[in-house]
Chain A
Amino acid sequence: MHLTKEEREMLEGRRGEGVQKAMEILTALGDIYNANKFIPIKSAQVSGVSYKNLGDAGLEFLCEWADKGIKIKTPATLNPSGIDLSNWKDIGFPKKFVDKQLKIIDAFRRMGIRTECTCTPYLILMGNKPNFGDHIAWSESSAVSYANSIIGARTNRESGISALSSAITGLTPEYGYHLDENRKADFVINVKTRLNKISDFGALGYVVGKKIGNNVPFFKGIKNASSDQLKSLCASMAASGAVALYHIEDITPEAKRGIIKRDAQEIVIEDEDIKEGYKALNSTVKEIDLVAIGCPHASLEEIESIANILDGKKVKSALWITTSRGVKEMAEKTSLLKRIEESGGVIVSDTCMVVAPIEELGFKSMATNSGKAAFYVPSHCGLSVRFGSLERCICAAVNGVWEDD
């Protein structure tokens, strides 16, 4: 790594202990990944927020950094926490967990980080939305993929600590997806089936992620896709694989001539593959305790779809729509919140079904239209999961049972 005079001073501790520690981390990462230099970043997004993932080790570490007076320099937002920060009591989160979680949030706040806890900071007004070509340091895997693929910003898959270090220094080592040559596609994914629903994109992402690991795919044959469908694809492909960037012909901003590597392999995806994806993400559970929509965090459009499908009907199982505080506020203004609540559903903000301690809330089974949630929840939370379209999930919420075709 070639360091400028100022960067060397930061590393030597002349800009304070926090900056020094952050620079040590970033320099080591730069060395490991053969970066030549640092580049400035426009924003950071810090994961590792839920107490469920961090445990006491992470909590102590973050509190110690906050106690030392370490402050961030570049604007940053947080990933979902383990609780709804304002509504935790009503939802019934365990008090012990809440206390620990609030300490973590307070540590981040003291470091100067905005405590919007969301995996979709690009969806909210005054949120955290980079522009095409911006260098950023984000760590939530689906948000990394959305920023790279759909927005055309540039970030590696950072860890919580490296993103925090970048927020403190305003810098990231230049390697990986910051460089043009690493943004080219290693695989061409020829999609020969029609994808209609958000869950179809989740199933596709699951299948492709399994096949290609951490490579960059270029999709052909997807005629159109909504922002919500794309974020679902981002999330599941980053969960089953480690895809941080993808291109879709005629849809994503970098899907232009020359973006496919000459030796790219082709993979064909047909109806059968999507069906296999659905099958792999489904258990055989019938009774549904919880229907959880919003992984990644739901947009206002998704909440509207849910309200329309519910159409005043009351739910038998619990219905959670997980989203950001910003989107929840918009739902409140547009009376969507009222419509959801009248049906017995809850709009839960600042957390989600993957990082909340849902297993401690008495839920044993869950239905979702998210490929990512269906992938993680069985192992991470121990629930039996059903995965299907939004319509089918809401139907399960109303009936309390999952109905097969």
Chain B
Amino acid sequence: MVCGKMIRIELNGRVIKKGRAVGEALKSDEPISFFGCIDKKTGVITEKGHDLEGKSVKGKILVFPNGKGSTVGSYSLYILKKNNVAPRAIINKDCEPIIAVGAIISEIPCVDKVDISKIKNGDRIIINNGKVVVERI
């Protein structure tokens, strides 16, 4: 749907952690591990060769296919939140337990089963539980 110059797309997903959030999309096409692959003080992704290497997840709507790595990653997400550098919300293609548990204990809205191919870096995203609105200028 096109409103003036702005593109607006509505997507639906499954609620993993309910909540509302508005922010800018930071998108990766690769799985993300919050354990050992992200700086807990800055939220910058440190995994060598990752498509988000050097980018900070702080305050972003983090969009990626699924989690990977150690189950300790759930706690790592929690520590990002404590350090005020966590993403504002998470959108996954298929959420797996590490991300799901991490989002729940950290109170980060999380939704999956979303067609993330429709989302681009820099899009404005509005999440309301299972509803995801994508706005692009």
Contact = CB atoms under 8 A, between A and B. Distances in A.
The binding surface of chain B is classed by DSSP as helix
Contacts of B72: 48, 53-55, 57-58
Contacts of B82: 60
B71 to A, nearest CB: 4
Contact of A56 (B14, B79, B96, B105): B79
Interface residues of A, number: 20
A28 B101 contact: yes
B32 interface: no
A159 B104 contact: no
B17 interface: yes
Interface string A46-80: 00100001111110110000000000000000000
Interface in B93-136: 95-98, 100-101, 104-105
B40 interface: yes
Interface string B77-88: 011001000000
Nearest to B94: A32
B56 interface: no
A24 interface: yes
A160 interface: yes
A162 B97 contact: yes
A161 B96 contact: no
A24 to B, nearest CB: 5
Nearest to A56: B79
Contacts of B105: 21, 25, 61, 161
Contact of A55 (B17, B75, B98, B104): B75
Given A25-B101, A31-B14, A159-B101, A58 B75 contact: yes
A29 interface: yes
Contact of B75 (A24, A28, A31, A61): A61
B95 A32 contact: yes
Nearest to A29: B97
A139 B18 CA distance: 27
A55 B95 CA distance: 24
A160 B73 CA distance: 12
A162 B14 contact: no
Contacts of A57: 40, 72, 75-76, 78-79
A16 to B, nearest CB: 16
B71 A32 contact: no
B90 to A, nearest CB: 12
A5 to B, nearest CB: 20
B15 to A, nearest CB: 9
Contacts of A28: 16-17, 95, 100-101, 104
B33 interface: no
B74 A159 contact: yes
Q: Which of A31, A32, A54, A57 has the most CB of B within 10 A?
A: A57
Nearest to B82: A60
Nearest to B36: A55
Contacts of B78: 57, 60-61
A273 B9 CA distance: 55
B79 A60 contact: yes
Interface of B: 14, 16-17, 40, 71-72, 74-76, 78-79, 82, 95-98, 100-101, 104-105
22 contacts: A21-B104, A25-B104, A25-B105, A29-B97, A29-B100, A31-B14, A32-B16, A32-B95, A48-B71, A48-B72, A55-B75, A57-B40, A58-B72, A60-B78, A60-B79, A60-B82, A61-B75, A61-B78, A159-B101, A161-B101, A162-B97, A162-B101
